[in-house]
Amino acid sequence: MENGGTVETTYLGAIREALQEEMRADESVFMLGEDIGAYGGAFKVTDGFLDEFGPDRIIDTPISEAAIVGAAIGAAHMGLKPVAEMQFIDFIAPAFDMIVNFAAKSRYRTGIGAGLVIRGPCGAGARSGPFHSQSVESYFANVPGLKMIAPARAYDAKGLLRAAIRDPDPVLFFEHKFLYRRIKEQLPVDEEVFVPLGKARTHREGTDLTIVTYGAMLYKSTEAADRIQVEDGAEIEVVDLRTLRPLDTRAIVESVKRTGRLLIVHEAPRFGGFAGEITAQVCEEAFEWLDAPIRRVTAIDTPVPYAPTLEDYYLPGEDDIVAAARWLLAY
């Protein structure tokens, strides 16, 4: 619905628009993946793309994630701008070799970059079990040469995907499937939506505690912050990372220096997760500004379970965030 130069757009619609706009503007942008052509993609992200862009630019592939990513690398070497779809981000595992050994190291080793985007739906909450629900960012966090994006808002999904497609380095773009149709925002119709990589965003301002988060956890974190404001009167700042690598350490540190307390919330499991890295960086850069230990609220260290009771227990909830925040505020 159009409304004063804006139109209501879902998170999924924003991703569609980013792809369409980049493909219309630049003939070298193309997509490859499983069932993205006539079927339109498992989540219908590319519905109708085959008709508009033709089979040279919307390429259905065998179920071969390594070959999909490999072809994207080779095409990038030749100056094309590939967007490879992982049907579910869990299926990025078979392409691990291609991503960490070929794409990520290409520029460093040879001077020839691999400007490609690998995008796909991540995240739990959709009752989809261990292989359609994972958050995989930590698998790749220890690999120099990769950029990673995990948008929470439709605006950022659109703006960051456009930036990712234009970026000269390999970018992993994690779309949270729980947000695909649940998030609706008014996006501008006439002005260009473009969000540069590497910049966090203060989603909610506050003075007493910083919550650093990304992806679907932005919403639970914000709800927790709102509840604490009403019930406790404390002002919580919520920082949405948006880009995971390069990590906007400066934005995190600046917020922590203002509030003196840090809670990190993410949906991926705890051990070896981004929260650990952020904790270390804040300790290195802002230890003297901390008034309390840094805490983490994350998924538990198990695979993502299937039954609703189990999955709800697995995922960090608003109550978990409120409890950790209260503990920190009282410290």
Partner 1 sequence: MDHLKALDREDMRALYRFLWLTRALEERLEIIFKQGHVVGGLYRSLGQEATAVGCGYALTAGDWIAPSIRDLGALLARGLDPRDVLRQYTARGTSLCAGKDNTNHFTVPELGILGPISPLGTQLCVLNGVALSFRTRRDPHVCLTFQGDGASRTGTSHEGLAMAAALNLPIVVVLEHNRWAFGTPSTAVAAVAKWADVAGAYGVPAVTVDGNDVLQVYDAATQAIARARAGDGMTILVAETYRMLGHAQHDAQKYVPEDELDEWRDHDPIQSFAEYLIEFGFESASTLKRIRSEVVARLDAATDEVLAEGYPPAEEARTRVFADPALDADVPWTRGPVPGYEGLAWGSRARPTTHPEGD
Which position among 1, 3, 4, 111 is part of the footprint of partner 1 (CB under 8 A)? Answer: 111
Interface pick for partner 1 out of 129, 289, 320, 323 (rule CB under 8 A) = 289
What 3-state class would DSSP assign to 51?
A: helix
What are the two backbone dihedrals, phi and then psi, of residue 130, each rounded to the nearest 5 degrees? Answer: -65, -20
In the block, residue with structure tokens 């190291």: 105
Q: Pattern 227-246, binding to partner 1, x per CB under 8 A?
A: -------------------x
At its nearest, how many Å lie between partner 1 and the CB of residue 82? 7
Phi, psi of 203 (to 5 degrees): -85, -30
Q: Which stretch binds partner 1 (CB under 8 A): 44-52, 74-82, 122-130, 200-208?
A: 74-82
* Residue at token pair 């159009």: 2
Residues 199, 202, 205: CA angle, nearest 5 degrees: 160
203 is catalytic: no
DSSP 8-state code for residue 47: T
**Residue 146 CB, nearest distance to partner 1 (Å)?**
9
C-alpha torsion sign, points 122, 219, 161, 50:
positive
CB of 281 to partner 1, least distance (A): 8
Which residue number, 154 or 262, has a Cβ lying nearer to partner 1? 262
When the beta carbons of 140 and 314 are compared against partner 1, the nearer one is: 140
Contacts of 203 (CB under 8 A, 6+ apart): 152, 218, 222, 238, 239, 240
Residue 71 binding partner 1, by CB under 8 A: yes
Contacting residue, 223, 254, 318, 320, with partner 1 by CB under 8 A: 254
Nearest approach, Cβ of 186 to partner 1 (angstroms)?
A: 33
Q: Is residue 30 at the binding interface for partner 1, with CB under 8 A as the rule? A: yes
Q: Compute the distance between CA of residue 277 and CA of residue 257 in angstroms, rounded to an integer.
A: 18
Nearest partner of 57 among 92, 21, 83, 87, judged by Cα: 83
Is residue 155 at the binding interface for partner 1, with CB under 8 A as the rule?
Answer: no
Question: Taking the alpha carbons of 13, 15, 19, 25 in that order, is the dihedral positive or negative?
Answer: positive
HSE, CB side, 13 Å, CA atoms: give it for residue 190: 3
**Least distance in angstroms from the C-beta of 125 to partner 1:** 31
The residues binding partner 1 (CB under 8 A) are 30, 56-57, 59, 61-62, 64, 66-80, 82, 94, 97-98, 101-102, 105-113, 115, 144-145, 147, 168-169, 246, 254, 257, 284-285, 288-289
Residues labelled as active-site residues: 132
